[in-house]
Every structure is written in structure tokens, then in C-alpha cells.
Amino acid sequence: MRLIKVKNYDEMSERAAMLIAAQVQLKPDAVLGLATGSSPVGTYQRLVDWYKAGKLDFSEIRSVNLDEYAGLKGTDPQSYRYFMEDNLFSHVNIAKENTYVPNGTAEDLVAECGWYDANIKKLGGIDLQLLGIGNNGHIGFNEPADCFIEGTHLVDLEESTIQANARFFDSPDEVPRQAVTMGIGSIMRAAKVLLIASGETKAKLIEHAFAGPVTPQIPATVLKLHPDCTVIYCE
């Protein structure tokens, strides 16, 4: 695991975008595992800028997102599908049919989870997985638990996650209580993992978590076992 501490959010975003751009150039039909939230916004902005400057081509890229809120349609501005369209997909030449975000309104969410895993397999697995980290150590929406969950699953969000994500909603009551998330297995099978985090609390969490043992109580610690994981973070 490479831990790279940088000066600020801009430098974190620049470095992360450079690694993703390198992946896109090395393998034009790569499968990118993508995240939402505040952490990757600056990274996506740079990828959009470089695309507009003619430096990147997403026409053959495939993408799979980590998670989606249960019950939100992709057209809902709070949904993660909407976030991806707004921050990346609609600004670059990725083919919409090659972008996958779990369907949080599927009638049968268990079947949707099974389909999502089968699809990742069909795509040939993830070449580069981008991750953020929750204040409780979650990756994707794999919340602290007694064991790591392998596959895509429906999860009850922790109160701390609901509170943290309430900033994107008019009130905490509007934050969905459940989400569909990729499991630890798909994340760990990605050829490369890139985790980004910013802010004093997250910087402390990263330094504490990655110095300690692997435990499902801090899900991100599993990344210590990944053969090619880069963590770029700042205070």
C-alpha cells in the first residue's frame, strides 16, 4: 500500500486524476470503478477538463459505480446516477450504455445485486477502483460489521453515515436509510485501487486505520491486503 500525503484537496484531485488518466490511456477500454461524494468532485473536474482539451478519450471506457441509494430513481438529483451524469458522464464521450450504477429502484433488489456482480464479471472485472472513505471507515457503503461481505448487497446505513450525507439533502429525514453497495470482494478483485480522502478527521482516520490490524469494524483496513492500492490524502 502506498500512502501519499499531499498539501490540499487540489493536489489530491490532480494526482488522482493523473492516475485515472494514465489508466484510460494505457487501456482505452478499461473498466473504471467509480465513487460519488465530495472527495472525487475535483478529480472528475480534471478528467472533464483534459477530455475537453483533447487529451483523453472515454469512447471505449466502461464504468461501474460503487453504490446507489435504495428507492431513488436515477433522475432524482440526490441519486448517485444523477451525480455521475452531472459530474462526469454528461461532460465526456463515455457511452451511456457502458456506465453502470446499481438500480436502487429495482423491484427485486436482491436480484439486482446478483445481476450487478454478474455484470462486473462479464465486463472482465475492474481495472481501477476509485474509493472515498466514510468517517466510520466504510468503503462503498460497506459499513462497520462483524465480517466483510463479499458481493453486492443491500445495506442499512449507519446513523453516522446518514448524518454525514445529510449535507446533500434538505433535511436528515430525507436521506434514504438503505443503499445497494458493491461488496468487499469486487473491490478487492480490482487490479488497482485508488483511495482519496481530505480533511483533518479523515487524515487521522487513515493514519490510524492503516497502521493497525485488518478488521471489518473499519472496513477500509481490508485494503492493506490489496496488492496494488494507493491512498492519496490531505488534512
Site of interaction with ligand F6R (CB under 6 A): 35-39, 66-67, 132-134, 138-141
| Of residues 35 and 194, the one with the C-beta less far from ligand F6R | 35
| Of residues 57 and 188, the one with the C-beta less far from ligand F6R | 188
**Closest residue by Cα to residue 24 from 63, 55, 58:** 58
Specify whether the backbone of 124 is left (phi greater than 0), alpha (psi in -120 to 50) or beta.
left
* Catalytic option among 98, 103, 119, 136: 136
- Give the CB-nearest residue to ligand F6R: 132
Residues 6+ apart with CB under 8 A from 20: 32, 43, 47, 128, 130, 194
| Of residues 29 and 174, the one with the C-beta less far from ligand F6R | 174
What's the closest the beta carbon of residue 46 comes to ligand F6R, in angstroms?
16
Residue pointed to by grid coordinates 472527495: 39
What's the closest the beta carbon of residue 228 comes to ligand F6R, in angstroms?
19
**Residue 67 is among the residues annotated as catalytic for this protein:** yes
Q: Report the Cα 42 to chain-centroid distance in Å.
A: 14
**Residue 143 is among the residues annotated as catalytic for this protein:** yes
In angstroms, the CA 72 to CA 198 distance is 27
What's the closest the beta carbon of residue 101 comes to ligand F6R, in angstroms?
9
**Would you name the residues annotated as active-site residues?**
67, 136, 138, 143
